[in-house]
Amino acid sequence: MPSSLKTFDEFDRVLAQARAEVEAMIEVEPGDRAMASVKRQLDAVHAWTRGGRCPSQDEKDQLNFGLIASRELDTYPVADKLYELASFVIYWGEDGQQA
């Protein structure tokens, strides 16, 4: 299901918010491997998408933070942002979709 995010600017704003929230969560629970994995992936997505660049399919194939959110972090407020971001990235570039 495509994301409700429609532009790169919306995506980038939510990405920044999610990264900040996950970083704060890690400070509280530094040993949580799920949060650490999500942080690494969000950092990678941030690096890959600078300037509005769409991640390559190989890069997209490395991501599973949406799945981690649904299995491990679904009770946390950041989960909805992670779902939106994952959906946006998955569908980005398909059928002419532009960010």
Give the pLDDT of residue 2.
Answer: 60
Question: Does residue 39 belong to any structural domain of this protein?
Answer: yes
Give the pLDDT of residue 13.
Answer: 98
d(CA 62, CA 28): 26
62 and 69 Cβ atoms separated by less than 8 Å: no
CA dihedral angle for residue 93, residue 45, residue 51, residue 57, rounded to 10 degrees? -30
> In tens digits, what is the pLDDT along the chain, a chain of 99 residues?
567 899 999 999 999 999 999 999 999 999 999 999 999 999 999 999 999 999 999 999 999 999 999 999 999 999 999 999 999 999 998 754 555
Give the chain's domain count. Answer: 1
d(CA 88, CA 71): 19
Question: Does residue 47 belong to any structural domain of this protein?
Answer: yes
* pTM of structure: 0.91
Give the pLDDT of residue 62.
Answer: 97
Task: Output the CA torsion sign for 70, 50, 5, 21.
Answer: positive
Residue range(s) defining the domain that contains residue 48: 8-92
Question: Does residue 3 belong to any structural domain of this protein?
Answer: no
Give the pLDDT of residue 21.
Answer: 98
Give the pLDDT of residue 71.
Answer: 96
